[in-house]
Structure 1
């Protein structure tokens, strides 16, 4: 009978049942990437009407211990003041080490802040100014004239603004006739993205000066005039 060499038996065992044999110390542990710091690329110190989306996305960049941008770092955004939201709230850095998100400011607050954080590094804070409504102006249509009982040739356009003439959307403007009769359509409207509402004014039967008012929340009211012929 032919003898079987021990080395041949070992080869058969290793080939047939490799899962039964394990060698301590042969498993290589792959460490997760680690960041050393975060920086702001863009989006800090913006301003927009409170309750609206900031015009520029916020972008943070993660760096590794070698000082180069690093990918696959989870970065979270948390609103610290002002309310609002950030989308996405958590994301991983891309090949450039960057994470991009859109920041919608909270309503009713000027001071707005968001904190960006990643495991093992110092959090970083971004700030924005929420502009609140402060004025209502007549953008178009004041001091017109038309026949009595007729619509003015140019529609009224009223604009609600904040500091630095920032348009304020989402504000209710109420309108009312105060002299001369006539009608306004609509009598109430919400400002659009430009902070504006458009209104058609049909004069009343009274010849001469006719007036209307437009009011918006705490901003106050403004008087609009026309002449009926």
Structure 2
């Protein structure tokens, strides 16, 4: 099987989902890598067992993976845990994602052409280009479905992402649950949303929804990033039933 791998954070990643649902006597996975440039780094991290953003074993090597370098440009990765090793990972059978991560010598071939079945793709990745300025609008789900671990992951991820923004960038934050709210940087809070009651005592939202404005978009500065992180750290889940009966 031939795969064109996704590039993530300047490395190629090949992920294989493994979930046989039982202990397998002859479980085996082989990954073959053939590149036109020299393979500079090649690693197989510990089995990814969940979708959590930060895993403690993400930087650990997979002791069951055997890497064989056939040449500077090719390699074979073999992963074949015995039934006993599978039980040590999970008594009900291995369940997770096996990831092969590698990179190549980009300096020697900054321009590459990949040809396959009459089609070609031109890769042009010079290393000396400056990072482009960007305007990012973060749209964050804070509805009841995000309660617990998910909202914690959202806060953690946003703290990391905000730290990665660069001077010259602009950003804004929108949160949504039953309604949409736009972050007010000046007051470091969502814009207020009005509610009213009808004659039956039901909650209805004001039809005027807050919109992104010039004041909602701020440049990346140490002060603005600090204030945004403070806002994100206070995010909690909430959900209001628009037609909820009030006793």
Q: TM-score range by the shorter chain?
A: under 0.3
Higher share in strand: 1
| TM-score, normalising length: structure 1 | 0.22
| TM-score, normalising length: structure 2 | 0.21
Task: Specify the structure having the higher radius of gyration (Cα).
Answer: 1
Higher share in helix: 2
Higher RCO structure (Cα 8 Å, ≥6 apart): 2
